[in-house]
Amino acid sequence: MGCGASAPKNPDGNEGEPAPERPRRPDSPDPRRRGSYMSPQMGKPSEMTELPLSKERIASYSNHGIKPGVQGKASAKINQDRGQITYPLAGDTGMAMLCVYDGHGMAGEKVSEFAMLRMPDLIEAQRDRLRTETKAVLTEAFIRVDQELRDSPIPSSTSGSTGLLVLVTRERLWTACVGDSRAVLGHRVGGSVIAKPLTVDQKPDHPEEER
């Protein structure tokens, strides 16, 4: 997902394929999507009629970028970013999953949306292992999403997405990531709020990536 992948097995896949279905609203009869909430675009009202947690406790927004246009005039780019809150996770009110996907390339929005839709299903399918084998479950889910993406009609050989997941439990925070989206934790020091990185950006020029 992070920097594109191998060519998809389906050679007929092209950019014109429809994007996966968006998550359903909380009042949807489909239980798989009852706990998933997609980040709304900034400046536009949210489609969600109810929220999993109050706005004072959690908030999420996404915004499109801009690109140079004719005669130096900037034009809006399609929003390739996706953010998601899943709560309760796996039916457990003591767990929440917060995700960010930053798509890039000609079909980056399809890659990020694919990952956003699949990740909750894969994590919740392992609910019996989620508490005791958390690291393995998160790792396997990231690998599985990447494999399924390569087998899909989406042209992932020329497009990709970062993937950032924060699993919140009553006892601790778990993080999993690919690419250079970053999770930070704010904590108070005196009268200031200091941001503490929870993840390390995965960039090609990072010494660990060059090894």
What's the pLDDT tens digit per position in 1-55?
544 443 444 434 333 344 344 444 333 334 444 567 777 776 666 665 555 566 6
Distances in Å between the Cα of 170 and the Cα atoms of 50, 94, 99, 131, 196 are: 23, 6, 18, 11, 20
Q: What are phi and psi of 142, to 5 degrees?
A: -65, -45
- What pLDDT shows up at residue 52? 58
Contacts with 104 (C-beta within 8 Å, 6 or more apart), sequence order: 80, 159, 160, 161
Mean pLDDT over the full length of the chain: 81
Nearest Cα neighbor of 104 from 82, 75, 73, 74 is 82
- What pLDDT shows up at residue 9? 44
- What pLDDT shows up at residue 124? 96
Q: Across residues 82-99, what is the average pLDDT?
A: 92
- What pLDDT shows up at residue 39? 79
- What pLDDT shows up at residue 5? 41
Q: Which residue has the higher pLDDT, 206 or 165?
A: 165
Q: What is the pLDDT of residues 185-203, one digit of tens each?
A: 999 999 999 999 999 999 8
3-state secondary structure of 35: coil
Amino acid identity for residue 118 in this structure: R
Q: Across residues 167-178, what is the average pLDDT?
A: 95
- What pLDDT shows up at residue 89? 93
**Residue 140 pLDDT exceeds 90:** yes
Amino acid identity for residue 126 in this structure: Q
Contacts with 145 (C-beta within 8 Å, 6 or more apart), sequence order: 1, 114, 115, 118, 119, 122, 163
Q: What is the pLDDT of residues 100-114, one digit of tens each?
A: 999 999 999 999 999
Q: Across residues 141-157, what is the average pLDDT?
A: 97
- What pLDDT shows up at residue 23? 41
Question: How far is Cα 98 from Cα 77, in angstroms, rounded to an integer?
Answer: 25
